[in-house]
Structure 1
Amino acid sequence: MDTRQTPTEATKPRATSLATRLFVSATVWVVVILLLTGIVLSSVYRQASERAFDRRLNLYLRTLVADVATPDEPLDRQFQSLGEPLFELPLSGWYWQVTRTDGDKPELRSSRSLWDKKLPKLEDRGVELTAAGIRIGYVDGPEGQTLRMVERPVDLGADGKFLVMVAGDASEIFEETRAFDYYLGGTFAALSIVLVLTTIFQVRFGLAPLKRISDSIADIRSGRAERLEGEFPVEIAPLARETNALIDANREIVERARTHVGNLAHAIKTPLSVMVNEASARAGDPFAAKVLEQTDVMRDQVAHHLERARIAARLTVIATVTEVAPAIEALRRTMEKIHRDRGITIEVEADAAAKFRGERQDLEEMVGNLVDNASKWAHGRVAIRAEAVAKDDYPHLVVAIEDDGPGLPPEARQAVLGRGRRLDESKPGSGLGLSIVADLAALYRGHFTLEQAALGGLRAVLEVPGDAPVGATAH
């Protein structure tokens, strides 16, 4: 089993944080709202500029219509009352034109600025009359200018029908609108920056309690705390309260499970002891010998499964953290005493920063079984190396135990992991040690392998979840 499949999500792609999503969402909304507002304001300002321009054109138009309606004026005095010098400047972009449409008299009078050109008719472009009896629109001027033009048909009855047109250079409208857009864009850009900074502050300040809860839960998971402590806002307080209640309920469940396991152990041991005593009293009976043999197997199996149940129950608790180096050093001293008569030397090289995400007695049981097995087979030397290794940015604890004994061929290494399997009956033990290590490692979502050792014997590698950044190895 691969220890990269640890209970943490550190080995998986990290999801986008809530703060980032809120910030991105708020920023998008700010940009969209300001963009729409800018478009609306620009359109409103353009329309306002057009209305102001149209009022100016309509003033000239009414003056021309008044001149058309008074044909008794001398010809040299007609259409001289506009008062706009641009109508006198050739091709200035400001033009007027009066066209007779009934064909009985001269057809055209126009401003000097129009020179020998003619204005296009809005009527020919399909522009409809407004309620005021005029047409308004954009046309192309003689010099390629875009003109804003108004025209009005005038019916004087017997005096004829006329079409009066006044046009002005629309670049004034466009330039004013463009300048307004520049100012508006600069203002909205500054406003966007202010709103984004405000959003960042609000998101960070508003989500700070959630960050505190996240840090507190991480402390609980790593064994540095037991409950969520501190004051939280009214909106977050129920979450902290329910989390603490869940932790308390979890501990109660585990304690009950431990009690049941202990009761079961005592309940089974008593009948087994009675059976062993009865069988021992009939030492010469083959049936009694068989009973003794099977009760030994039962005791080993019961011990094994009760141990697994105990560990599984304990693993449901919020994880504790164990310092690795002191635990291994204590095991070294114990094993050297146990195997003192064989003169076994046990060397330890442990990373001072390495930690095990679990309880010390479980680490001692796994490493102790491996060291004990290595000491039984070693000629005189056993080496233990423990280090923190980063895999996918998550710390793992790797403990390797080597011996200088005869070792095992590759085909036999998997066989010895079977429960109760012993390849050499001359060595003491029940054969459950290595299988217990494998089972315990699996319960911690770790794994255990056997390899060829550099010392010449067998190398056992235990990999389980750690709880520290990778540090320097201490000798």
Structure 2
Amino acid sequence: MRARQFPGVRSNSLATRLFLSATAWVVVVLLITGVVLSSVYRSASERAFDRRLNLYLRTLIAEVTAPDEPADHQFQSLGEPLFDLPLSGWYWEIDRSDPDKKKETRASRSLWDNKLPKLEDQGIELSLSGVRVGYVDGPEGQTLRMVERPVDLGADGKFRVAVAGDASEIFDESRTFDYYLGGTFAALTIGLLFTTIFQVRFGLAPLKRISDAIADIRSGRAERLEGEFPVEIAPLARETNALIDANRDIVERARTHVGNLAHAVKTPLSVIINEASSHERDPFAVKMLEQAEMMRNQVAHHLERARMAARLTVVGTVTDVAPVVEALRRTMEKIHRDRDVAIDVDVSPAAKFCGERQDLEEMVGNLVDNACKWAHSRAFINVSVRPSSGAEPAMLRIIVDDNGQGLSDAERMQASQRGRRLDETKPGSGLGLSIVTDLAALYGGRLTLDTAPTGGLRAELLLPAV
């Protein structure tokens, strides 16, 4: 099964990794940018608010330094009605801070007999401009932005002048800015993600085409990479086709060498065996004949393995199983006609072997021939497909049963050993099951022997399926 993150892209593909990494970077960059912009705007709002407070502060200081002004005209030049509205959130306060003089406080009407906290008491130090700035709690629980400055008038005394304004203006503006900033960045993020998906989806499409084409080659649906590819991908397609061609050439050369070696070795062995057979009474000739037969069996076995390994390097070979099994059934019934052995066949129509026909014929043929030799009257062939699950690929399950006497556990262990014959009265070289085991292993499969439900031997062969 192919899990998909978005259309046309596998969950573990390069496209998905690029998409996820691009998404992560977009989100991280936008988050950092949003935090920085929000902080900058908040600082700008505070500076603008502080300029307004400092304007009121300088006006109050000017009033303090002009004590000759009539009392009813003092502090009238601020021009802010909120200083007269009770508990409005806008306040000013002037304290005489001389230690040797009577404490005296003047405040705006809006304070309504309340007092402003002192920034000095909260540990806020004077800035280079000689003022203290910070947030304090107001009379009605408001959060106030406050500016405070000590004023020394010499003989006229020392004063603390403070002006505070409702900080909700700063917070509301910052919140509104964050709202619009978040909406803008959300829209930008969605746009960038769709752009990334588009680029990944269509920009990596040629690589996916190559991947699908290689899968078709492996499954036998194609022999080469066909079609037009972008300039950046075309060299990869050319080199892949060249590799496939070189692979086929190597296989053909290997087959030729195997055939030549078989001819070169088997002919002298046949001469030796014929010469030894003509002197059957000579003990030396008998021994020579025995060893020559062993040599021929060993040569046949290893040449067969070399031939099988060479064929396995061919890419994209698929074999229908049903015709092979049916042909073997007819052949084996003719070969074992004198024993009157019937062969029952049950093959799934969807069964396809990922390999060459002659290899399948050799493996199944050896198993069926062995079953017919040992069966009392009947052999059974069952072929099914085990579907893929997770990391496990699809496999062919070929079962060959007989109703013979079967084998013990120890005999089953010996049966697949090379050249091992459990009954010398039966024809054969003892290489059949060994060849099946080796060939199945080369294909990534396996052969197991067990007891059949009919009482005889069960041979179960697992091979790669398409």
For normalisation by structure 2, the TM-score amounts to 0.92
Partner of 1:449: 448
Cα deviations by residue, 1:383-403 (Å, 9 ceiling, x for unpaired)? 111111135352111111112
Aligned equivalents of 1:144 and 1:123: distance in 2? 20
1:66 aligns with 2:36: no
SS at match of 2:394: strand
Amino acid at match of 1:437: V
Q: Are 2:211 and 1:211 equivalent residues in the alignment? A: no
| Aligned residue number for residue 418 of structure 1 | 417
- The residue type equivalent to 1:434 in the other structure is L
Distance 1:138 1:407 in 2: 95
Secondary structure of the residue that 1:423 maps to in structure 2?
A: coil
Comparing 115-124 and 458-467, the one that deviates more:
115-124
C-alpha distance in structure 1 between counterparts of 2:265 and 2:446, whole Å = 31
Counterpart of 1:358 in structure 2 is: 355
Shift of 1:149: 1.2
Query: Which shows bigger deviation, 34-43 or 146-155?
Result: 146-155
**What runs of 5+ residues in structure 1 fail to find an aligned partner?**
1-13, 468-475
Please, which of 189, 196, 200 is the counterpart of residue 199 of structure 1? 196
User: SS at 1:407's partner residue?
Assistant: coil
Match of 1:41 among 37, 41, 53: 37
1:119 correspondence with 2:101: no
The answer for the alignment partner of 1:324 in structure 2 is 321
Aligned twin of 2:149: 152
Q: Which of 92, 96, 107 is residue 88 of structure 2 equivalent to?
A: 92
Secondary structure, counterpart of 1:421 in structure 2: coil
User: Are 1:378 and 2:385 an aligned pair?
Assistant: no
Letter in 2 for 1:457: G
The 5 A counterparts of 1:3-14 are: none
Task: Find the residue that maps to 2:85 and give its secondary structure.
Answer: coil
Q: Distance in 1 between matches of 2:403 and 2:227?
A: 55
Counterparts of 1:39-438 in structure 2, within 5 Å, are 39-102=35-98, 104=101, 107-390=104-387, 392-393=389-390, 394-438=393-437
**What amino acid does structure 2 have at the position aligned with 1:377?**
W
Alpha-carbon contact 2:221-2:316 (below 8 Å) kept: no
Offset at residue 207 of structure 1 (A): 1.7
In the alignment, the residues of structure 2 paired with residue 420 and residue 152 of structure 1 have an alpha-carbon distance, to the nearest angstrom, of 108
Change over 3 Å in CA distance of 1:183–1:455 after alignment to 2: same
Hey, what does 1:10 align to over in structure 2? none
Provide the C-alpha distance between the structure 1 equivalents of 2:333 and 2:49, rounded to a whole number of angstroms: 104
DSSP-derived class of the 2:387 partner: strand
1:9 matched residue in structure 2? none
Cα distance in 2, alignment partners of residues 26 and 239 from structure 1: 26
2:19 — aligned with what? 23
Counterpart code for 2:424: E
Tell me the secondary structure at the aligned position of residue 204 of structure 2: helix
Deviation at 1:213, TM superposition (A): 1.3
The 3-state SS of whatever aligns with 1:75 is coil
Q: Distance in 2 between matches of 1:279 and 1:300?
A: 17
In structure 2, C-alpha distance between the alignment counterparts of 1:230 and 1:336, rounded to whole Å: 48
Contact 2:97 2:103 in 1 (8 A): no
- Structure 2 counterpart SS, 1:137: strand
Residues 459, 124 of structure 1: alpha-carbon distance in 2 compared, 3 angstrom cutoff: closer
- SS for the counterpart of 1:414 is helix
Post-superposition offset of 1:319: 4.4
Task: Report the more deviating stretch, 152-161 or 317-326.
Answer: 152-161
> Comparing 65-74 with 35-44, which one deviates more in the overlay?
65-74
The Cα shift of 1:322 comes to 0.8
Amino acid in structure 2 at the alignment position of 1:450: L
Deviation for aligned residue 1:131: 4.1
Query: What's the offset of the Cα at 1:104?
Result: 4.4
**Unmatched runs of 5 consecutive residues or more in structure 2:** 1-9
Q: CA RMSD in A?
A: 2.0
The structural deviation recorded for 1:240 is: 2.1
Percent of aligned pairs sharing the same letter: 74
Q: Find the residue that maps to 2:68 and give its secondary structure.
A: coil
Deviations 1:60-94 (A, max 9, x none): 22221222222111111111222222111222211
Letter in 1 for 2:35: I
Q: Quote the offset at 1:301 in angstroms.
A: 1.6
- Give, as a single letter, the amino acid of the residue that structure 2 aligns with 1:360: R
Matched residue count? 454
User: For 1:82 and 1:120, how far apart are their aligned partners in 2?
Assistant: 21
With 218-227 and 447-456 compared, the bigger mean Cα shift is at: 447-456
Kindly provide the amino acid, as one letter, of the partner of residue 214 in structure 2. I
CA distance, structure 2, for counterparts of residue 243 and residue 369 of structure 1: 37
SS of match in other structure, 2:117: coil
Aligned partner of residue 224 in structure 2, secondary structure: coil
Using the TM superposition, give the Cα deviation of residue 205 of structure 1 relative to its aligned residue in structure 2, in angstroms.
Answer: 1.4
Moved more, 282-291 or 456-465: 282-291
Instruction: Render the CA deviation track for 1:367-391: whole Å, top value 9, x for unaligned.
Output: 1111111112222222111111135
**How far, CA to CA, are the matches of 1:29 and 1:53 in structure 2?**
36
- Structure 1: distance between partners of 2:457 and 2:117: 102
Is the 2:133–2:148 contact (alpha carbons within 8 Å) kept by the matching residues of 1?
yes
